């Protein structure tokens, strides 16, 4: 295993597509106090060379060659979903730490294998999405942990869009997002499920219905503008799930909702309601209480300190990895949580096909809210 450079984690980027261009390559410049780009690898070696020239590092067209580079401490796996398992495992076997875009692996057994290899070799796997690092998630966990709305009985979640092919300004061909190995569940559900399990822990069982509501997609913009693609993975999924402790929830997720003004998550407790707004991350929290003992009732906005910090940005997963490798800090967006999320997604397909409720085999216990990296204020949330 290579020794990380003092004060900075040496990063090799695998894949120079949209995620690299939008998030991770710029992050190595913005946060060059913690990160150093030393390699860029892409199947299009000329494109790898373009970004290596722009951001620094050696260009590779061959992944195995980059894994043999002693100037690479950690690999950022930013390729299409179907390649993640093979590439993450190869990086770990080469002694590299890993950042991987969602999903961490193709299936639950693959995800467990990733966890076991990393743990056996003392390596870190930092997983997107970055919800567990975000100030809004920390604030949400704090409110729930302090019992502000009492026991939570019911959860409603929505994590939906029309997919990246409907997005303007596309730098690459996004048609593969609508086909086998990808789809709205693997792309969208992770955000909501990481948020949910980060607050309440693992899901116990689920029942699901899935269908394909928009069988053909037309790419809106970028190099594939006008391209038509047949969706061969369900794009519309509705799930009922059991969290244990007599707490039930519902979730819709996929690529069928253009927009909504509804909260992306609602938590209904004995003593109040929490509603959570934002896109992928918690950007606004509304709290309702009706407490005759303290004469507090009605809706209030909850402050979220730290929304202007770098922990609020998508590539904060790179910073989390650097903190774990360089400073020995706990990795709060680690692979065991994402393995649980991947099992959830896998069990959705099982339930939808069989028409039966299915049990989860894995579990997840989240860190306490005060272990997350961003400080919060001493808001009393209407309590005395």
Same-domain check for residues 148 and 267:
yes
- Tokens for 20? 């690299």
Residue 75 is inside which H or E element, if any? strand 74-77
Which residue range forms the structural domain that includes residue 273?
A: 135-306+340-371
Q: What is the CATH number of the domain that holds 53?
A: 3.40.50.720
Give the ranges where 68-134 is alpha helix by DSSP (H).
84-93, 108-121
Residue 186 has a pLDDT of 78
In a domain, 333, yes or no: no
Average pLDDT over residues 365-381: 69
Residue 14 phi, psi dihedral angles, 5° rounding: -110, 110
Of 123, 152, 179, which one is at a domain's C-terminal end?
A: 123
Question: For the chain, how many residues are written?
Answer: 384
In a domain, 128, yes or no: no
Same-domain check for residues 294 and 170:
yes
Residue 63 phi, psi dihedral angles, 5° rounding: -65, -45
Q: Model's pTM, two decimal places?
A: 0.92
Each residue of 180-215: pLDDT tens digit?
878 888 778 889 999 999 999 999 999 999 999 999
In a domain, 311, yes or no: no
DSSP letters spanning 283-311: -EEEEEEEETTTTEEEEEEEP-TTTTSGG
Residue 160 has a pLDDT of 93
Residue 295 has a pLDDT of 64
Same-domain check for residues 52 and 111:
yes
Same-domain check for residues 105 and 189:
no
Of 100, 123, 146, which one is at a domain's C-terminal end?
A: 123
Query: CA 137, CA 195: separation in Å to the nearest integer?
Result: 7
Each residue of 273-291: pLDDT tens digit?
999 999 889 999 999 998 7
Average pLDDT score, the chain: 92
Same-domain check for residues 77 and 57:
yes
Q: Which residues have C-beta within 8 Å of that of residue 133, sequence separation ≥ 6?
A: 311, 316, 317, 319, 320, 332, 333, 372, 373, 374
Largest CA distance in the chain: 68
Residue 184 has a pLDDT of 83
Each residue of 80-122: pLDDT tens digit?
889 999 999 999 999 999 999 999 998 999 999 999 999 999 9
Same-domain check for residues 164 and 104:
no
Q: What is the CATH number of the domain that holds 181?
A: 3.30.360.10
Q: Into how many domains does the chain fold?
A: 2
- Reduced to 3 states, what is the DSSP secondary structure of residue 58? strand
Of 95, 123, 151, which one is at a domain's C-terminal end?
A: 123
Residue 119 has a pLDDT of 97
8 A C-beta contact, residue 311 and residue 374? yes
8 A C-beta contact, residue 384 and residue 294? yes
């Amino acid at each position: 295993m290579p020794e990380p450079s003092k004060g900075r984690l040496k990063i090799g980027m695998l894949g120079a597509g949209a995620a690299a261009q939008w998030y991770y390559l710029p992050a190595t410049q913005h946060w060059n106090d913690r990160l150093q780009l030393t390699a860029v690898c892409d199947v299009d070696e000329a494109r790898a060379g373009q970004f290596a020239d722009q951001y620094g590092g050696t260009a590779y067209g061959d992944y195995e060659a980059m894994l043999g580079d002693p100037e690479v401490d950690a690999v950022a796996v930013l390729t299409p979903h179907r390649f993640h398992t093979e590439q993450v495992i190869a990086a770990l076997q080469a002694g590299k730490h890993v950042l991987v875009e969602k999903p961490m692996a193709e299936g639950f057994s693959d995800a467990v294998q990733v966890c076991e290899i990393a743990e056996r070799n003392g390596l870190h796997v930092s997983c997107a999405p970055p919800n567990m690092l975000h100030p809004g998630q920390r604030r949400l966990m704090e409110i729930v942990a302090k019992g502000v709305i009492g026991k939570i009985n019911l959860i409603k979640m929505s994590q939906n869009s029309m997919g990246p092919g409907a997005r303007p300004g596309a730098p690459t061909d996004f048609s593969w997002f609508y086909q086998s190995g990808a789809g709205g569940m693997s792309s969208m559900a992770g955000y909501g499920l990481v948020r949910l399990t980060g607050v309440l822990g693992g899901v116990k069982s689920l029942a699901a219905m899935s269908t394909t509501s928009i069988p053909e997609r037309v790419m809106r913009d970028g190099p594939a503008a006008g391209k038509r693609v047949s969706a061969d993975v369900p794009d519309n999924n509705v799930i009922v799930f059991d969290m244990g402790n007599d707490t039930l929830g519902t979730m819709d997720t996929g690529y069928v909702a253009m927009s909504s003004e509804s909260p992306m998550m609602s938590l209904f407790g004995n003593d109040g309601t929490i509603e959570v707004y934002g896109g992928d991350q918690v950007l606004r929290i509304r709290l309702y209480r009706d407490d005759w003992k303290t004469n507090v009732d009605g809706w209030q906005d909850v402050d979220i300190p730290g929304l202007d910090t770098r922990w609020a940005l998508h590539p904060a997963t790179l910073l989390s990895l650097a903190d774990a490798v360089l400073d020995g800090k706990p990795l709060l967006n680690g692979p065991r949580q994402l393995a649980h999320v991947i099992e959830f997604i896998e069990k959705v397909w099982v339930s939808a096909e069989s028409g039966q409720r299915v049990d989860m085999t894995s579990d997840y216990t989240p860190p306490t809210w005060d272990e997350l990296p961003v400080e919060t204020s001493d808001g009393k949330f209407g309590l005395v």
